[in-house]
Amino acid sequence: MQKKLLTVIVFSLFLALVAAPAAYAKTILKLGTSTQPTHIYNQAADHFAKIVADKTGGEIEVQVFPAAQLGSERDMVEGLQLGSLEMTLTSTGPMGGFVPQVKLFNLPFLFKDRESCYRVLDGEIGTQIADRFVKVGLRSLGWFENGFRNITNSKRPVNSPADMKGVKIRVMEDDVFILTMKAMGASPLPMAFGELYTALEQKTVDAQENPLAVIHSSRFFEVQKYLAMTGHFYSPAVLLISEATWKNLSPKNQKIVADAAAQARDFERGLSLKADQELEAACEKEGMIITHPDKAPFAKAVASVYSNPKVIKAIGGGNAEEGQKLIDAAIAAAK
Ligand code: EAX
């Protein structure tokens, strides 16, 4: 009898140690994005998921939900704060509403080239701004890339700011984007990305601006005839994890997740560069008429955004002096 009891206890212990972890310890991290499945965000998210699965032996499963299935970029970031979503890869479009200093990166023509972007984002300025996410329940796992944004429209070829006059253009939901397009002479309308294709199709707006990787994967060439390579904004993306989720990971898994994110970031930046090299021709093949305007008149037209007191104060999180310091530091580092 005693022997039988012992066997039962030993067997139960065995089950608890061996079977239970496999059945109960699996962590699922849902990761949402706004863009189409073929877009570089989702290729990078899949890459990240694979590394995490391999390195944790399947203990952590990252599930990717593209195409705003889980809501707009803003909704998803809020989801991370509320605990209804674990991860998102988003543009800075909505991020100024959570950490105002992020608006710094929304300034037009701030960066010269990719080197200059990475120097600022991966250096002191980008790191200090990313560190602010923790206070609002979010944790940055690195600055990814959306890319240099170009203007598409259904009206006319754009060669100078004069061609943008009165053009109704959808912008991301941040006042820096709105003010920039106004300074260019256009009529901006802030709108979530998920509504954009239909808005272009139904002519609610004439124009939009996005990197080639977004324009091509979202098939905007079906509803927009003209593409102008203005590169007026550099749009970073950020991989975010809910701070509550992060805290629940073991130190070992935190390291795996952070390392996988760093690898995915480099992978994604590579895809973004490749997209810029290849997708102009691909858009042309789809029937778009492409122009390469001189950027100087555009930069001149939007220079007033940098001296706008509202913008300076907003970038400083309500403190104009702080904002000006950040802008000056970014300009110097981006040179
Ligand atoms: O983050 O809203 C936008 O135009 C963004 O560039 C897009 O959703 C990718």
pLDDT of 244 reads 98
49 burial type by CB count under 10 A (0-12 exposed, 13-18 middle, 19+ buried): buried
- Higher per-residue confidence, 19 vs 75: 75
Is the per-residue pLDDT at 8 higher than 90?
A: no
pLDDT of 4 reads 67
Q: How many Å apart are CA 242 and CA 98, to the nearest integer?
A: 13
Q: How many Å apart are CA 19 and CA 238, to the nearest integer?
A: 37
Confidence band (pLDDT; 50, 70, 90) for 2?
low
User: CA angle, 139 as apex, 274 and 149 as ends, to 5°?
Assistant: 30
User: CA angle, 173 as apex, 219 and 185 as ends, to 5°?
Assistant: 85
Q: How many Å apart are CA 33 and CA 36, to the nearest integer?
A: 8
Confidence (pTM)? 0.93
Evaluate: CB of 93 within 6 angstroms of ligand 1.
Answer: yes
pLDDT of 249 reads 98
Is the per-residue pLDDT at 67 higher than 70?
A: yes
pLDDT of 46 reads 98
Domain coordinates of the chain in residue numbers?
A: 16-334
Residue nearest ligand 1's atom 3 by CA: 193
Q: What number is the average pLDDT over the span 253-275?
A: 98
Cβ neighbors of 325 (< 8 A, separation 6 or more) are 316
Cβ neighbors of 129 (< 8 A, separation 6 or more) are 99, 101, 102, 104, 105
Q: What number is the average pLDDT over the span 284-294?
A: 98
Evaluate: CB of 91 within 6 angstroms of ligand 1.
Answer: yes
pLDDT tens profile 143-162? 999 999 999 999 999 999 99
Q: Which helix (H) or strand (E) holds 209?
A: strand 207-210
Evaluate: CB of 146 within 6 angstroms of ligand 1.
Answer: yes
**Dist. CA 119 → ligand 1 center (Å):** 22
Going by C-alpha positions, the residue among 219, 274, 284, 209 that lies closest to residue 37 is: 219
pLDDT tens profile 313-323? 999 999 999 99
As given in the structure block, the two tokens for residue 119 are 């120097």
Q: What is the DSSP letter of 15?
A: I
Q: What number is the average pLDDT over the span 285-290?
A: 98
Ligand 1 atom index nearest CA of 211 = 6
pLDDT tens profile 200-241? 999 999 999 999 999 999 999 999 999 999 999 999 999 999
Is the per-residue pLDDT at 21 higher than 50?
A: no
314 burial type by CB count under 10 A (0-12 exposed, 13-18 middle, 19+ buried): buried
pLDDT of 75 reads 98
pLDDT of 25 reads 80
Q: What number is the average pLDDT over the span 241-270?
A: 98
pLDDT of 68 reads 98
CA 181 to chain centre: 20
**Dist. CA 329 → ligand 1 center (Å):** 26
pLDDT of 210 reads 98
Helix (H, G, I), strand (E, B) or coil at 239: strand
Q: Which CATH superfamily is domain 16-334 in?
A: Bacterial extracellular solute-binding protein, family 7 (3.40.190.170)
Query: Average pLDDT, whole number, for the chain?
Result: 95
Give the amino acid at 133: F
Cβ neighbors of 247 (< 8 A, separation 6 or more) are none
Q: What number is the average pLDDT over the span 53-67?
A: 98
